[in-house]
């Protein structure tokens, strides 16, 4: 699905040198590379504050802690996403409210969000799924009308641009009150282990969050709030700092590969290729290239591709509202028709910055030979 070795080769010397420097200086925790990466990412995203942390799941949890959400507060998020999003809501004893997604872009459905808002709702968590920006203008408007926080789960879309109604653009993750991302190795900007970060333009919130990630300390050995220990280590920061200048190029190559796949597959009646809904070409950075199959035995296709040495993935096979951990009597199946359908239809093809035309053509040939 990814080619981390192929991505490493051209930057090997620089990455090795910077890792060696961290080892030589033994500044493994909170070293200068962490601060340097934070500044570089603030500049890249054009955001006032980046707070590095240990992984993308922590980033989401800490963002919610920073906003002061309290047990019983309702938090609306998408039914069709990775479990981390709903997991941290539940862990903090907030009440997850799962809603359906849009069949065109797979992102949280605005009408469903509207329906789900109650006096207890405190936040909405859009996930920019598979690398495509959610409808942020509509969500921000709802948030303003109902006095809610918007927390962007940007784990799959780092580097994407959102074009606002007024024509201006922002990087995803910096549009809501707070955003989070993951630097898991296979993400669009991945390190060589675990890593994550929180973004905000709110000075007070950034200050609160900086204490939370460090055991609730704002002054050494004074613990003002209950915090966590969540750090990006210096070696991971050094790797990320070496890779960040390549992110736009990596994303451009993913998009080019996606367009190639689409060119080959778009006219097939049994295949729905991914839509780019925004007018901004960089609104989708293709963390995944996900097809919808119509009248195809999806699981047999997965087996056929695997038998031909083609990896593929089903993201996600089970809606969150049907997972044992998150099932709830208040959910009504009629409210999840799109997610219930998508989980049966979707298949994600290999997608990364090293994918070449020959590989794409081989993959496409094997798909078409099976579904025709
Ligand atoms: C990967 C991912 C996360 C979690 O990131 P980790 O670094 O693995 O904790 C959260 N949300 C989404 C949508 C993701 O894809």
CA distance 100 to 239: 37
Cα 231 to averaged position of ligand 1 atoms, centre (Å): 16
Domain boundary among 245, 264, 283: 245
Q: What is the DSSP string of 236-266?
A: HHHHHHHHGGGHHHHHHHHHHHHHHHHHHHT
How confident is the model at residue 314, as a pLDDT?
A: 97
In short, whether 127's Cβ falls inside 6 Å of ligand 1 is yes
Domain boundary among 186, 219, 245: 245
How confident is the model at residue 302, as a pLDDT?
A: 97
How confident is the model at residue 361, as a pLDDT?
A: 97
pLDDT in tens, 306-362: 999 999 999 999 999 999 999 999 999 999 999 999 999 999 999 999 999 999 999
Three-state SS for 47?
coil
Nearest CA to ligand 1 atom 5: 56
Reply yes or no on whether the pLDDT at 148 is more than 90: yes
CA distance 122 to 15: 42
Cα 198 to averaged position of ligand 1 atoms, centre (Å): 12
Measured in degrees and rounded to the nearest 5, phi and psi for residue 214 equal -120, 55
Reply yes or no on whether the pLDDT at 279 is more than 80: no
Reply yes or no on whether the pLDDT at 372 is more than 90: no
DSSP, res 212? H
Helices 234-243 and 12-25: angle between axes, nearest 10 degrees: 150
Cα 269 to averaged position of ligand 1 atoms, centre (Å): 33
* Claim to verify: residue 239 and residue 199 sit in the same structural domain: yes
Mean pLDDT of the chain: 97
Please tell me the total count of domains within the chain.
Answer: 2
pLDDT in tens, 90-117: 999 999 999 999 999 999 999 999 999 9
CA 318, 319, 324 angle in degrees (round to 5)? Answer: 80
How confident is the model at residue 278, as a pLDDT?
A: 82
Give the whole-number percent of the chain exceeding pLDDT 70: 100
In short, whether 180's Cβ falls inside 6 Å of ligand 1 is no
Nearest CA to ligand 1 atom 2: 155
Q: Which residues lie across from 291 on neighbouring strands?
A: 347
In short, whether 126's Cβ falls inside 6 Å of ligand 1 is no
* Claim to verify: residue 158 and residue 174 sit in the same structural domain: yes
Pocket test for ligand 1, best of 1, 57, 61, 180 (most atoms within 8 A of CB): 57
Cα 155 to averaged position of ligand 1 atoms, centre (Å): 5
Of the listed ranges 268-282, 297-311, 321-335, the one predicted with least confidence: 268-282
Identify the CA nearest to 292 among candidates 271, 306, 311, 309. Answer: 271
Q: What is the DSSP string of 14-29?
A: HHHHHHHHHHHHT--S
Q: Which domain holds residue 201?
A: 4-99+107-245
Which residue, chain included where needed, has tokens 């955001």? Answer: 47
pLDDT in tens, 175-193: 999 999 999 999 999 999 9
How confident is the model at residue 348, as a pLDDT?
A: 98
Domain boundary among 184, 212, 245: 245
């Amino acid at each position: 699905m990814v080619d981390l070795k192929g991505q490493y080769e051209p930057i090997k010397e620089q990455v090795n040198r910077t890792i060696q420097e961290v080892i030589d200086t033994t500044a493994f925790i909170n070293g200068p590379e962490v601060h340097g990466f934070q500044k570089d990412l603030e500049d890249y995203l054009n955001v006032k504050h980046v707070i590095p942390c240990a992984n993308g799941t922590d980033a989401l949890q800490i963002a919610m802690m920073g906003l002061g959400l309290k047990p019983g507060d309702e938090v609306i998020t998408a039914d069709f996403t990775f479990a981390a999003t709903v997991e941290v809501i539940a862990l903090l004893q907030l009440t997850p409210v799962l809603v359906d997604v849009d069949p065109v872009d797979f992102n949280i459905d605005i009408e469903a969000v509207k329906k789900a808002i109650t006096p207890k709702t405190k936040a909405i968590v859009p996930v920019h799924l598979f690398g495509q920006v959610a409808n942020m203008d509509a969500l921000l408007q709802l948030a303003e009308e109902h006095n809610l926080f918007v927390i962007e789960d940007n784990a799959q879309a780092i580097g994407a641009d959102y074009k606002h109604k007024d024509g201006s653009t922002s990087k995803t993750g910096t549009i809501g009150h707070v955003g989070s991302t993951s630097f898991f190795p296979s993400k669009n900007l991945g390190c060589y282990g675990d890593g994550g970060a929180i973004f905000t333009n709110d000075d007070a919130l950034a200050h609160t969050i900086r204490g939370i990630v460090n055991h609730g300390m704002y002054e050494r050995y004074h613990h003002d709030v209950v915090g966590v220990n969540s750090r990006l280590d210096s070696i991971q920061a050094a790797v990320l700092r070496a890779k960040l200048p390549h992110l736009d190029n990596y994303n451009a190559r993913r998009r080019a590969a996606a367009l190639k796949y689409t060119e080959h597959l778009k006219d097939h009646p049994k295949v729905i290729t991914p839509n780019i809904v925004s007018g901004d070409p960089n609104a989708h950075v293709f963390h995944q290239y996900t097809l919808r199959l119509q009248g195809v035995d999806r699981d047999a296709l997965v087996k056929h591709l695997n038998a031909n040495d083609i990896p593929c993935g089903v993201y996600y096979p089970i809606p969150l509202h049907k997972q044992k951990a998150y099932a709830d009597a208040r959910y009504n199946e009629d409210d999840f028709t799109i997610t219930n359908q998508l989980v049966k239809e979707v298949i994600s093809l290999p997608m990364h910055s090293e994918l070449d035309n020959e590989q794409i053509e081989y993959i496409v040939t094997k798909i078409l030979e099976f579904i025709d």
